Structure 1
């Protein structure tokens, strides 16, 4: 008989539709975009925009895109790799721990995962949002939801949140190893493409309003200036990987993808960067996407299909993608160490 788990771990990923159908994608997009940390505008305006304009226009197109990356046996790539990460971490930690996986939006849900964990009368619980760089719209939303739900518990285990691991050495090693599966000398330029955020959300991270950063970050921005600035953490990740691979500063660019609406988002945009590189005569690009710990629609379609086609139409030749962390054992070791270093 296995030992009863006394320590809990909750891994939380963003989410994915249950199937690549318009109805399921509509449910997923609605829950995602109605989160006030994601769409940080007043409720009435958010409802009208999300339910009246964005979701009706995007659901069918997004469903068609999801169907191109959906596997007949394993389903959603994000779900497949997330479940594999949970299973591998459970095996590494052993019977003393119970590792649950939840999605911030859709299933398996955070309420469902916490209900299981509550019934175990745990000594401790470590929550790891699966986003290396902190942002209120991702990690902040996960922590907010977990705290909202756990406050109804009648007992409280020792609780720890891992809010950022943007330059985790093992994570950096994995991205570098996956990059070295390509012949780096073949590429004219390297892109570090991160998920975008509205510029206004960067300013909200400093409640004191004392930090002055006129352009909300630059390539020399250090996380010590504001440890919760998403932009500075993106640059910290980039510097760590570039240093590991000895990439010259003039050979790589940080950029941001997946913007929505007409308000200013963090720049430079990945699409604009591709245009500029093609105009400069670059032919072969290798793209890192270190905001994601598992390959998903943003890496498998947006970069490898949409952006790759754009680049070729402008005269470029090839866009290749560095595989995400996925099921690399060294990434699982990184997660294990995060658990052990946070009081477990």
Structure 2
């Protein structure tokens, strides 16, 4: 039996209100990043934190307990502190996470052309996923490709995006074919893009050690998704395959191995770490701040720090890794700490997204 041949994306021709034939895209592309407050003001930061932390995939405890924790403790007390930090990264264009995401959306649209319509949505705050998806609702789109802008899969990030997209689309009268990009940590151009930024720093300085730091997760979230009952045991992340395909920690270690190979960094010269833990429950280890202290005790004087869980500069990269960890390192005897910038609007990052879209386009059949 011969399978139908894949259809290449071809914009349909439709007459507009003047009777002139116009090009109408057939495939929608939704890029989704985490989100950011509308401004660095305390009220806007508080609003953002409440929406973000009330997500049951982010703080995965019963609703009543989560509501009390977020609305009575975290949001009221953390928002003023977070607002001060947001002001440090805010620019004339606003939040870097948002405007770099907007840049990439425009560049991807330019590269893909009229056959596609590319929209940006934020999981929390604006522009919302709902407002972005509305541009595809009942407008003749045959296929929607959803790309969460998180290199590694985690329930709290990619999984949350899936849930929100499906919640919204489930109410549509006509539901087109929808496909999701689960992760892209091993895409050659993604690795090449991050490596090319790192190489610029390697050309300027000889580093004693390299840290690859990723956003942390509670250990319980890793265990919830562990169908093999082997995660967080021994050297469970020493390799990445079918058994631990969706383990966030294993994906982070694989990302590091690929980047280290691209940069010709030996295993003895780098450490994988996890940052941004919250609360008293154990999070995945090793913790970045603990490793920094261990390195300074060993006499390490210079570190080049990568943050490959983020594709755009944000608080967790610019402030936490770039400034707070630098201060900790130098306070304890280190001499030179350098953050490798995120992909932001790097051409190879746009090429990565273009490849992901085109690969998913091939799944559209007549």
Aligned twin of 1:58: 78
Aligned twin of 1:228: 246
**SS of the residue 1:128 aligns to:** strand
Aligned twin of 1:176: 195
**SS of the residue 1:254 aligns to:** strand
Tell me, yes or no, if structure 1 residue 127 matches structure 2 residue 141.
Answer: no
- Contact 2:105–2:120 (CA<8 Å) still a contact in 1? yes
Tell me: CA distance 1:95–1:214, structure 2 relative to 1, closer, same or farther (3 Å): closer
- Contact 2:145–2:357 (CA<8 Å) still a contact in 1? yes
Aligned twin of 2:261: 243
- Contact 2:228–2:244 (CA<8 Å) still a contact in 1? no
Rounded Cα–Cα distance in structure 2 between residues aligned with 1:7 and 1:214:
40
Rounded Cα–Cα distance in structure 2 between residues aligned with 1:214 and 1:268:
11
Point out the more displaced range, 138-147 or 326-335: 326-335
Aligned twin of 2:321: 303
Say which of 104, 124, 131 aligns to 1:85.
104
Say which of 221, 243, 260 aligns to 1:201.
221
- Contact 2:222–2:231 (CA<8 Å) still a contact in 1? no
Note the alpha carbon deviations across 1:244-290, whole angstroms, 9 max, x for none: 11101110000000000000000100110111111111111101100
Tell me: CA distance 1:216–1:203, structure 2 relative to 1, closer, same or farther (3 Å): farther
Rounded Cα–Cα distance in structure 1 between residues aligned with 2:26 and 2:193:
30
Aligned twin of 2:170: 151
Q: How much does 1:210 deviate?
A: 3.8
Q: How does 1:320-339 map to 2 (within 5 A)?
A: 320-339=338-357
Bigger Cα Rg: 2
**SS of the residue 2:118 aligns to:** strand
Rounded Cα–Cα distance in structure 2 between residues aligned with 1:88 and 1:119:
26
Structure 1 unaligned blocks of 5 or more: none
The normalised TM-score by structure 2 is 0.91
Note the alpha carbon deviations across 1:19-75, whole angstroms, 9 max, x for none: 01111000011000000000000001101111111111110000000001100x211
Aligned twin of 1:115: 134
The normalised TM-score by structure 1 is 0.96
- Contact 1:223–1:233 (CA<8 Å) still a contact in 2? no
Aligned length: 341
- Contact 1:2–1:95 (CA<8 Å) still a contact in 2? no
Rounded Cα–Cα distance in structure 2 between residues aligned with 1:214 and 1:56:
34
Rounded Cα–Cα distance in structure 1 between residues aligned with 2:235 and 2:87:
37
Note the alpha carbon deviations across 1:117-167, whole angstroms, 9 max, x for none: 114220111000000000000000000110011011111211100011111
- Contact 1:223–1:236 (CA<8 Å) still a contact in 2? no
Aligned twin of 1:314: 332
**SS of the residue 1:182 aligns to:** helix
- Contact 1:293–1:325 (CA<8 Å) still a contact in 2? yes
Rounded Cα–Cα distance in structure 1 between residues aligned with 2:330 and 2:141:
54
**SS of the residue 1:145 aligns to:** helix
In angstroms, what is the RMSD of aligned CA positions?
A: 1.3
Point out the more displaced range, 2-11 or 170-179: 2-11
Tell me: CA distance 1:214–1:241, structure 2 relative to 1, closer, same or farther (3 Å): closer
Tell me, yes or no, if structure 1 residue 19 matches structure 2 residue 39.
Answer: yes
- Contact 1:203–1:216 (CA<8 Å) still a contact in 2? no
Q: How much does 1:214 deviate?
A: 4.7
